[in-house]
Amino acid sequence: MKFKTGTPLDKLLDGGIDSDSVTNIYGPAGSGKTNICMLAARENFRNGEKTLYIDTESNFSFERARQIEPKFDEFMKSILLKNVYTWNDQREVVKSISDVENISLIIVDSLVALYRMEIDDENYQSINKQLSTQYSILAKLARNLKIPVLVTNQVYSSEGKIEMTSRLISKYWPKTIIELKRTHGDNNRVAIIRKHRSLPEGRFVEFEITSSGLKEIGKFKLF
């Protein structure tokens, strides 16, 4: 079962993100992660469904929501927006996800921003465990209730021990991993499959960020 996101990811992933697992989108700032999250929520709204949207960086933009969905007020009513400001808040919110009968899509943008602020050389083992716990809760919700879960991760340049552990956790739990990158031009991006259960790694799609959403450029191919 797949969930159509209403973005170029649908073509890349032969129909959409898997409804029974966690999909992880990672890339640098400005690569389009939040755009994809908001557009997936819009698609869910257009299907008459509700989205739980956990926003850890106040990145959800009402102005952007207005641009992408003419029925702005109704769109906003379809979103259960949870703003979290600390790692502990985030842990609580993820732990207490309930009333899932009403929700058919879960988004966490970003799963690791507050984690990054919390973790240090002393506490990294317990904080990493807490990150794994959140992934595990989300993976279970997806698997048992067939609720697609979309999470985002940033990329960092440092290669320290903490960094490696968080990467291993974020590689292990999601069944699908998509990398986003800027290409030529201000608004052009590429989405590349980095992990998938049934599709080749390296398959990619190029797209443009426009005022109304994301527009595919050309055809995808293997490289």
Ligand X SMILES: Nc1ncnc2c1ncn2[C@@H]1O[C@H](COP(=O)(O)OP(=O)(O)O)[C@@H](O)[C@H]1O
**Distance between CA atoms of 214 and 217, rounded to whole angstroms?**
10
Q: How far, in Å, CA of 166 to CA of 148, rounded?
A: 22
What are 180's two structure tokens? 């986003």
The size of the interface with Mg ion (CB under 5 A), counted in residues, is: 3
Contact pick of 4, 15, 47, 67 for ligand X (by CB under 6 A): 67
184 sits near ligand X (criterion: CB under 6 A): no
Residue 24's binding partner out of Mg ion, ligand X, none, with CB under 5 to 8 Å set by partner kind: none
- Pairing assessment for the beta strands 103-109 and 149-153 based on DSSP bridges: parallel
Could you give the dihedral angle defined by the CA atoms of residues 139, 136, 179 and 35, in that order, rounded to the nearest 10 degrees? 70
- Between β-strands 22-26 and 103-109, what pairing exists: parallel, antiparallel or unpaired? unpaired
Binding mask 31-70 for Mg ion (x = CB under 5 A): --xx------------------------x-----------
Task: Kindly state whether residue 7 participates in binding ligand X, applying the rule CB under 6 A.
Answer: no
Could you tell me which stretch among 25-33, 97-105, 119-127, 167-175 binds ligand X (CB under 6 A)?
Answer: 25-33
CA atoms within 13 A on the CB side of 154: 16
Q: Which of 187, 188, 194, 217 binds ligand X (CB under 6 A)?
A: 187
Residues lying near Mg ion in the complex (CB under 5 A) are found at 33-34, 59
Residues lying near ligand X in the complex (CB under 6 A) are found at 27, 29-35, 64, 67, 187, 209-211
